[in-house]
Amino acid sequence: MSRIDTTFGKLKQQQRKALIPFITAGDPSQQLTVPLMHGLVAAGADVLELGVPFSDPMADGPTIQRASERALRNGMSLRGVLGMVAEFRKQDATTPVVLMGYGNPIEAMGWEAFAQRCAEVGVDGVLTVDFPPEESHEAFEHLQRHNIAPIFLLAPTTNEARIEQVAKLARGYVYYVSLKGVTGAGNLDLSAIEQKLPLLRKHIKLPIGVGFGIRDAATARAVAKLCDGVVVGSRIVQEVEDSSEKNVVANVGKLVKELRQAIDQ
Amino acid sequence: MSYNYPDSSGHFEQFGGIYMAETLIPAVEELRQQYLRFRDDPEFKAEFAYELKHYVGRPSPIYHARRLSESLGGAQIYLKREDLNHTGAHKINNAIGQALLAKRMGKKRVIAETGAGMHGVATATVAARFGMECIVYMGAEDIQRQAPNVFRMKLLGATVVPVESGSKTLKDACNEAIRDWVTNVENTFYIFGTAAGPHPYPMMVRDFQCVIGNEAKVQMPEMIGRQPDVVIACVGGGSNAIGMFYPYIEEKGVQIIGVEAGGHGITSGKHAAPLTGNAKVGVLHGNKVYLMQDENGQIIETHSISAGLDYPGVGPEHCLLKDLGRAQYVAINDDEALNAFDSLCRFEGIIPALESSHALAHAIKIAPGMDKDKVLLVNLSGRGDKDMNTVARIKGITL
């Protein structure tokens, strides 16, 4: 059983919801990424989404764009991110790690080499924002061969036929984008999420995580009531940006603890 | 050869596709369905033809550049005068086609990216013409380079949004326009300016721009009794080029040459020539194409004197035509383009856009080595009024 399935299985038994924080690898520095990952777990994260920086992050708002730029300036690369996961796994063999980013760095490395390396270092899932199911055949084949879960996005604009299509391909969990917009936007509509979920549940038997636009404990708690996991990205990346390197692990830990408590209430 | 691309899923063999975030997939799918529904609709075709004739001023003439040709002592250079179109470039052909589609889809808000500003001006123009709200994203660096076009867009009622991220040029303007689209997908039509991006854009933009080549195929026999030996066009994303090339693909006797921006030279690395520079295949802005990138798959900054060619990718159909060997792709450096710009001004009294000057420069390069009865047809895709500041600065002149 995969780490993702085990984690969600355990949470279900405990009747708890997953907290899935996102950070960009290499931000604020390469040295701090692994300590931040351990800090997130210590503060109550269940699954880690590790952003692979890309020069042209089209689906991201300004906060994650800036994080990507900082990370690239710090020399972060896809191979470097994979090395960080290997480092993280030396001390944490159980927390699932999902790489999230855009397809081109993987295309440049080659899907087979990438998937193989993911398996070696202990990556559990891969979410490629700009590779919809239509263009994921090759990716899917290589990820499956190495038991890496392809994680797919669903959006408010996704129709039922596409939900069915994603249901067939997805492994691990499905990430529902809770608003029309880029990451970090502030116009979250809870009732719209609530209305969409029955249609998602009809076809998707995997856990459903919801993200985009979750900015504080109150929205995290409200969203957690509706789904199986809460993804928080820009708010955490903002905290990284606002913190000094000395305080960043502590500050991010404090924020994630608050989110954890809110979700568990 | 039976050439029939893209396939139903938007692929030109390995190139093209719909590499977009999930939120936009239904939007591109809706666009595909609506485009397929209207492209053969007699009423749509008639309205498009009417606008091209009465608003744009088509057909654009073909002009024999006699003095320039004589000065070179070889092949005859003919110019397809897209510079004479309303708004001064080929971009208006596509902007009108997409605006007519937007109107039928009930979208009242249009957005666009622009590099040199010609597509932005064309979009602002059709938005005014059809009464739509218009937002144009433009790199902050390009806003500097193309100030007259920024003012034109504002006069036409468009909002011009400076893009400060990344290299502050065309690719970053694309990123920002995509971010707008993902946020406002329900009421917004993205009038994409080049024959690239997610399916159906490469096909749709090509179809709208094919008026260039279709006219030329009628005009050349009228002028010289036959088709040209070579057709030449500049390639950034490649919309003017595919518009000229596509109708000639099955004309075996016609050689096809696309001219990329060589910047400071291919070996310098400072260029915008993914095809000539043998860039690797990659994915950006919704399609798989030859793409300028580093070994880690990060997109690298490009360089060209012309903002309209300053882009790291190229349309998927050009990638295919290169692989098939049906078109050849070459690069022209900044200084060669500037020399061609000067030559056309002095010999023919025509001020070309710096983009089009690249195509012209290649014709000037090969004409002397060819017989005098050979004919080169250059797509003069735009006029150079917008480039006055850039050219003056290079010549050390303050306007």
Binned at pLDDT 50, 70 and 90, residue B2 comes out as confident
Which pLDDT does position B39 carry in this prediction?
Answer: 96
- pLDDT > 80? residue B396: yes
Share of chain B above pLDDT 70, in %: 100
Nearest CA in chain A to B163: A62
pLDDT-derived band at B146 (thresholds 50, 70, 90) equals: confident
**pLDDT at position A183, please?**
84
Say what the ipTM of the complex is: 0.95
* Residues A201-217 as b or e (16 or more Cβ within 10 Å = b): eebbebbbbbbbbbeeb
State residue B103's pLDDT score.
Answer: 97
Instruction: Name the token pair of A192.
Output: 């719209």
Q: What is the pTM of this model?
A: 0.96
Taking the alpha carbons at both ends of chain A, their separation in whole angstroms is 29
Q: Residue B262: what are its φ and ψ, rounded to 5°?
A: -85, -5
Mean pLDDT computed over every residue of chain B: 96
* Mean predicted confidence (pLDDT) in B325-335: 98
Query: How many Å apart are CA B306 and CA B338, to the nearest integer?
Result: 10
Would you say residue B363 has pLDDT above 80?
A: yes
Helix residue ranges per DSSP H, B146-238: 147-155, 170-183, 201-209, 211-224
Average pLDDT of the segment spanning B388-396:
93
B165 in active site: no
Summarize pLDDT for B283-292 with one digit per residue, the tens.
Answer: 999 999 999 9
Q: Judge residue A47's burial from the number of C-beta atoms within 10 Å of its C-beta, 0-12 exposed, 13-18 middle, 19 or more buried.
A: buried
Phi, psi of A132 (to 5 degrees): -70, 170
Give the mean model confidence (pLDDT) for residues B26-30. Answer: 93
Catalytic residue flag (residue B22): no
Chain B residue with minimal CA distance to A76?
Answer: B296
What tens digit of pLDDT does each residue of B45-64 get?
999 999 999 999 999 999 99
> Which residues in chain B are contacts of A155 at CB distance < 8 A?
21-23, 25-26
Convert the pLDDT of each residue in B153-203 to its tens digit.
Answer: 999 999 999 999 888 889 999 999 999 999 999 999 999 999 999 999 999
Asked whether the CA dihedral B343, B347, B350, B356 is positive or negative, the reply is negative
Q: How far is Cα B172 from Cα A130, in angstroms, rounded to an integer? A: 16
- CA torsion, points B12, B15, B17, B19, in degrees to nearest 10? -170
Q: Determine the distance in angstroms separating the CA of A123 from the nearest CA of chain B, rounded to an integer.
A: 19
DSSP state of B387: G
Residue-wise pLDDT tens digits, B201-224: 999 999 999 999 999 999 999 999
Task: Express each pLDDT in B294-322 by its tens digit.
Answer: 999 999 999 999 989 999 999 999 999 99
Positions of chain A with pLDDT under 50: none
Burial class from Cβ neighbours inside 10 Å (0-12, 13-18, 19+) for residue B33 reads exposed
* Residues of B with Cβ-Cβ distance to A134 under 8 angstroms: 9, 17-18, 25
- As a whole number, mean pLDDT of residues B33-56 equals 98
Write the residue in A78, A152, A158 that is nearest to B297 by C-beta. Answer: A78
CA atoms within 13 A on the CB side of B110: 33
Residue B314 tokens read as: 């190229």
Contact A188, A176 (CB under 8 A): no
Q: Is the pLDDT assigned to residue B1 strictly greater than 70?
A: no
